[in-house]
Amino acid sequence: MPLIVTGSVGIDTIHAPTGSAEGVLGGSTTYFAAAASFHAPVRVVAAAGGDWPDEHRKVLEGFEGVCLEGLQVRSESRTFAWGGRYHDNMNSRETLFTELGVLDEPGPPVPDAYRDSEFVFLANTHPAEQARLLDHFPERKLAVADTMDLWINIAHPELMTLLSKVDGVVMNDQEAEQLTEITNPISAARKILEMGPTFAVIKKGEHGCIFVHGDDVATLPAYPAEAHQVVDPTGAGDSFAGGMMGHIASVGMTDFFSIQTALAWGTVTASFAIESFSLDRLARLTRAEIDQRMSEFQAAARVG
């Protein structure tokens, strides 16, 4: 059940109350692929520049099951670079700089060998580019898109076109409110389903997520991390999506119940990603640790 992710590779510089990390591996596809790889093989479509460090590639290659055939390196271009600073409570951040680099150029080609991809995740980028990439996967069984406030503001028509083509959408609660002008995340998700998707996952950060699929609703808390366990929230959303889509691809099912189960795997996988800067924690993570934490999460979030 081939799984694919399209999006960015990045070079991140992070400042947080827990420390700083300069020029480390970042980007949506990297976090997604690393997280997904614990559940299913995953293909990557993205572009990097000539400045992309060899050690960053080696980190990604260290995740068994991650295929980098679709990762194009453009020697004359620069890799997307992002700098951010987290504030004391780790729940808000400011962008210090953004250097688009390859993201300001035409999108990456999709290898022919990837045309049979069945589970497609379009990580955040311009919705017109997401729609272009989607067209490369005629055999898809499930396509899910992420988006962000910028595109809701400046590319609304293209976003609406994209929403009419995908099966599911993942966004955070503020974005869902911005898109629908509805505060309640369940009611906002219902409005989003009217725009096309079969389901919507509304991420609430430390408060978990809401999942609306047709008439069915699920709610899931975040993994109960303590303050000292949160080192760097960067990539949490992409790691969540990676764990979720990885589980879906591994079982090959797209019904409400299967996706609801996948949300918990996404939550648990992402809970490790935030324990370090960059992909450091994911790079030394084992499937056994994920399974152990899933058991702990199930016990902690038991209902009645």
| Site residues (vs a second copy, CB under 8 A) | 88-91, 182-184, 186-187, 190, 204, 207-208, 210, 217-228, 230, 260-261, 264-265, 268, 294, 297-298, 300-304
Toward a second copy, which CB reaches closer, 234 or 271?
271
Cα–Cα distance for residue pair 168/166, rounded to 1 Å: 6
Which two three-digit tokens encode residue 50? Answer: 């000539």
Smallest separation, CB 258 to a second copy (Å):
11
**CA 271/CA 282 separation, integer angstroms:** 10
CB nearer to a second copy: pick between 22 and 291: 291
- Amino acid identity of residue 241, one-letter, is A
Backbone angles phi, psi at 194, to 5 degrees: -65, -20
**Minimum distance of a second copy from residue 214's CB (angstroms):** 14
The three-class DSSP label of residue 220 is strand
Residues sharing a CB contact under 8 Å with residue 288, sequence separation 6 or more, in sequence order: none
Distance, C-alpha 79 to centroid of its chain = 19
Closest among 110, 114, 63 to 243, alpha carbons compared: 63
Nearest CB to a second copy, comparing residues 59 and 209: 209
Shortest distance (Å) from residue 265 CB to a second copy: 7
Our CB check for a second copy shows the closer of 19 and 50 to be 19
CB of 134 to a second copy, least distance (A): 29
- How far, in Å, CA of 161 to CA of 169, rounded? 13
The DSSP code for 108 is: P
Q: Please, what is the minimum distance in Å from the beta carbon of residue 12 to a second copy?
A: 23
